[in-house]
Structure 1
């Protein structure tokens, strides 16, 4: 005889304890149940005041972006008008020089005529000029002047007047361009003042949000601790019942037989589930998992709270695939270390048959496979979560489940892994992966640019600098590797940049700084480095080019040499 009661046995032991946590949240705050937001922040931004202020900031940001093009165009027109005015002034000076030369020549000719009592001769011109060069110039004018000195002087004067007219026109255009540039600058100044005004109120509202977030994070830590305690309670129940979890091989074929005293666990198809059993007792049966599964989940519980960092595999940080691999390796089961390889090779079970220790594969039709975690019950999973920036207990969203795998069963022949469609970006461990050429918004967690609560950021270990938690963990790992190569840790000058600091910087450098609310520094995903990295061609910069990608950091193509905005010091976290 067998029944499906094993699928609910854990609810009495483990899931019940988890569901009870919903009542722990303080009135007025979001529940501390596992969340898909950073730090357990579901609903943290449900603030009407903050939303209204964000809308105001967005309006100012839009105006600044629109005005930015106007500023650039006005500056270009002003520079062009200045060039025309300078050229006109040079032409006036040249015309004045020609007129003066011709007036001198005519004067000398007239003097010679007076002395000689008639037409001048070469001798008289020599005597009058005193310089052989003057004679050559004067003789060149003789034939022309003989037909009328007035025409000679009039031609020179005409040229001078034309040059003066051109100069007057160019000066008028320059004046208009200066007026336009001043008007645009005044408008930008007004927008900057508006941005500064809303910033102070945003900071105040953000303080309220940050206090909410700190409370939720404390509750999330409690969720983690209570989950680990509930799991240990389940392990203790097995021991108290005299059940020594059998090896995985003993539970793979329940039809062929199970260890004495155990019966199969029913599945959704009506057949017995492979890889699990149950101990019949009253009032509920006790779920019996393979020894390897119990050991793997127990190992994962000890990693709760450790940072998420792409490309790392412990002991200080993990990504989602490496957490699964490490936990099951500790239990003696070899599985791959990436979410894609795990999906491709882990034996599947029906989603409704999910048991503790199974692997939950999340994703969507657009992004494809995006996450893997270890199921604790039908509603809860444990994972190294890219958005939370840590190993956490979080919800298991049923509408995002692409599949369930059971590592205690033999690996299957690899199958295709669902990938992004329609130009969507890939997602790894719940974290969007941006290509090096991507220049759009790298937003995360529902936070506005530059308005990320301090509690949602993590320190870099360098003088007040902080980033999104997964980026911070990756940066610390990268800095340690850099120190191994050069001695000192990475030198940093800028990291997360608040909306207020973006407004200030834009006011100081409107032609260079990003419009407030658009900088990747405002997402907590960009750093500016020093200590040699700030110059192309150095050993430190070459090291970053060769190694930064291992830690999820890229040098955006717009900042590469020859692309118009050379910034060797600027690096961005793009995920694994």
Structure 2
């Protein structure tokens, strides 16, 4: 659906006056001409050059993922072949030992005969024999001894030969396994070289992105600052005019009338708007909003500049739905905490009648609902914006407005939010939500894994380590609590890991490191720790297990003891 423009000409003298007042009070953000992606980087990250490089990186990642499985299988085959060779060699050693033992017995027998007068043969028995019966008995004894000796030594020799044949076969299998492992190692080395080549080009592109991002962020700070100043000026005008903040309920019933000194605001379609009023003044009337709306917008102004992070609900970071829900809940109006839920229950107003504090829902016919923010005037909105990576003031794209609602009017019967059609991807808080994959799909802020501009991250105050801004804030709080218990902050060895860093680590430890472009380190959401936390059973590790969750940090199950890949040092941020 294509929504009506917010810029429709208002009807009636009262409407014109109110429009002028709102424009005067909140004109600075629009005059400051914020970027269409304020503080964000969509104009850069959507370039063909970077997309082409990212596709090349994705191809390398996919190949490395496939090779990693093959390498693991080859290593297992090599280990099995080596075990078979070792077992065969042990069998040969045992057989040769047994044969040597039997030969030793025969040698001792021969030596004893020699010591007793020479070799004992049938001839010597006949020549030295007395009683014929004794001679016959001696000859039978010799035949039995010779036959047993031949049988024992022959059996031992056959056992040795069988063992040698087994060892020869095992050696051949081992040689073949080594050749396969070497061949795969060479292929992985080639892929790592390709990853290095892509990384070098990505680093150059990332540097350009970061410079442009820094410029946009400086502009965004100016816009945010001026907007907050305008809002404070408006609140000051209300005080100076002696306007008492009124609850929304007193501005709803236009039939019974408004409090003394206030008059209705005209609606674009005729009649008057519910949920707001004006105080007639010269040269312009003064807009009077409900106390709940004033409190909610003021709280939202205080959140400007805070980082955007999906699934979080303040105070250090927000997503678009949680910001709206929280500021209105604290003001006394309960609302759902997600964009679809907000759409479902917020009572609509004509887009041409938008007032500060109204909720503006953005979307497209293909992707459906994709964003929600708090209107400041007909041109600007305050929102926790995924593309900007922060709570910002941004322009309203009029052609993407699918719904405008006024929380002070109370809820409506639920209406399903429009969703994606034709296989389009879902959009959340202004950012496309890509399915999980190993192709470097863009997560928060629209950045690929390991390719987040430094300006979009926040330092944690230790060396050059940085994380996503909400994770960094949570880290600092957790480290301070840890220092209270142990007298020193948390020791850290690794935090955000660039794509290039992931490539290097994979080359060094392919069996342990994640495939480049898939690590949580590459989202700025994982750390590797030291100073006692890197050992199970230590007081420091026990403290983390007991307390990290309070700060949104957890130890992933795969890294727990007994799960095959024990890493006590690895911790991940899961949100507040």
Alignment map for 1:209-288 (pairs within 5 Å)? 209-232=209-232, 234=234, 244=243, 247-248=246-247, 250-260=250-260, 262-267=262-267, 272-279=272-279, 287-288=287-288
2:350 is the alignment partner of 1:339: no
Task: Give the distance between the partners of 2:96 and 2:445, measured in 1 at CA.
Answer: 70
1:357 CA drift (Å)? 2.0
Distance 1:355 1:483 in 2: 48
How far is 1:99 from its partner?
A: 2.4
Q: Tell me, what secondary structure is at the counterpart of 1:278?
A: strand
1:249-274: CA deviation from partner (whole Å, max 9, x where unpaired): 54232221124554322457865332
TM-score by length of 1: 0.76
Structure 1 residue 100, shift from structure 2 partner: 2.3
Distance 2:369 2:198 in 1: 40
Q: C-alpha separation between the residues in 1 aligned to 2:479 and 2:359? A: 32
- Residue 72 of structure 1, CA deviation: 1.1
The residue aligned with 1:499 is 499
Give the secondary structure class of the aligned counterpart of 1:339.
coil
Distance 1:95 1:302, change over 3 A: closer
Contact 2:64 2:191 in 1 (8 A): yes
Cα separation, partners in 2 of 1:151 and 1:301, compared to 1, 3 Å = closer
- Where do residues 423-572 of structure 1 align in structure 2 (5 Å cutoff)? 443-572=443-572
CA distance in 1, matches of 2:542, 2:396: 42
Any gaps of 5 or more consecutive residues in structure 2? 1-11, 126-140, 435-439
Note if 1:290 corresponds to 2:290: yes
Q: 1:374 to 1:482 in 2, by over 3 A?
A: farther
Of 47-56 and 279-288, more deviation after overlay is shown by 279-288
- 1:203–1:347 distance in 2 versus 1, CA, 3 Å: closer
Contact 1:14 1:227 in 2 (8 A): no
Could you tell me whether the CA contact under 8 Å between 2:535 and 2:568 is conserved in 1? Answer: yes
Counterpart Cα distance in 1 of 2:445 and 2:201: 22
Per-residue Cα deviation, 1:87-140 (whole angstroms, up to 9, x for no partner) = 22222222222322333334455563954454999xxxxxxxxxxxxxxxxxxx
Aligned-pair CA distance for 1:162: 2.1
1:292-441 to structure 2, matched below 5 A, reads 293-294=293-294, 296-298=296-298, 300-307=300-307, 333-335=331-333, 339=337, 343=342, 348-350=347-349, 352=351, 353-359=353-359, 373-384=373-384, 388=388, 390-395=390-395, 404-407=405-408
CA contact (8 A) 1:265 1:276 kept: yes
In structure 2, distance between residues paired with 1:575 and 1:484: 23
Shift of 1:168: 1.7
- Structure 1 distance, partners of 2:448, 2:144, is 79
Are the aligned partners of 1:254 and 1:264 in contact in 2 as well (CA < 8 Å)? yes
Between the two proteins, the alignment pairs up a number of residues equal to: 535
2:24 pairs, out of 10, 13, 18, with 13
**Where does residue 28 of structure 1 map in the other structure?**
none
Cα distance in structure 2, aligned partners of 1:414 and 1:550: 37
CA positional deviation for 1:382: 2.3
Displacement of 1:465 in angstroms is 0.9
Distance 1:209 1:348, change over 3 A: same
Which residue number in structure 2 is paired with residue 32 of structure 1? 35
- Residue 428 of structure 1, CA deviation: 9.3
Q: Give the 3 Å change call, closer, same or farther, for CA 393–198 of structure 1 in structure 2.
A: same
CA separation in 2, counterparts of 1:482 and 1:357? 41
CA distance in 2, matches of 1:289, 1:166: 91
CA offsets, 1:368-425, max 9 Å, x none?
A: 9997643213453324556655432235577586773424x6x66998998999xxx9
Q: 1:144 to 1:159 in 2, by over 3 A?
A: farther
Report the secondary structure of 1:63's partner residue: helix
For CA contacts below 8 A with separation 6 or more, give which structure has more relative contact order.
2
Distance 1:574 1:452 in 2: 18
Structure 1: which 5+ runs fail to align? 23-30, 122-140, 435-439
| 1:70 corresponding residue in structure 2 | 70
Cα deviation, residue 284, structure 1: 7.4
Identify which range, 305-314 or 247-256, moves more after superposition. 305-314
Of 282-291 and 244-253, deviating more is: 282-291
- C-alpha spacing 1:191/1:296, structure 2 compared with 1 (3 Å): closer
Report what 2:9 is aligned to. Answer: none
In 1: Cα distance, 2:567 partner to 2:74 partner: 26
Relative to structure 1, the CA distance from residue 10 to residue 406 in structure 2 (aligned partners, 3 Å threshold; closer, same or farther) is farther
Q: Summarize the alignment of residues 78-117 of structure 1 with structure 2, pairs less than 5 Å apart.
A: 78-109=78-109, 112=113, 115-117=119-121
Q: Is the 8 A contact 1:71 1:184 kept in 2?
A: yes
1:306 to 1:64, Cα distance in 2 relative to 1, 3 A: closer
Q: Tell me the residue number matched to 1:129.
A: none
- Separation in structure 2 between the aligned mates of residue 561 and residue 430 of structure 1, nearest angstrom: 40
Q: Indicate the RMSD between aligned Cα atoms, in angstroms.
A: 4.6
SS in 1 for 2:515: coil
Q: CA deviation at 1:145?
A: 3.8
Q: TM-score, normalised by structure 2?
A: 0.76
CA–CA distance in structure 1, aligned partners of residues 360 and 485 of structure 2: 39
The structural deviation recorded for 1:189 is: 1.5
Cα deviations by residue, 1:439-476 (Å, 9 ceiling, x for unpaired)? x9783222111111111111111111111122222322
Secondary structure of 2:177's counterpart equals helix
- Bigger shift: residues 317-326 or 92-101: 317-326
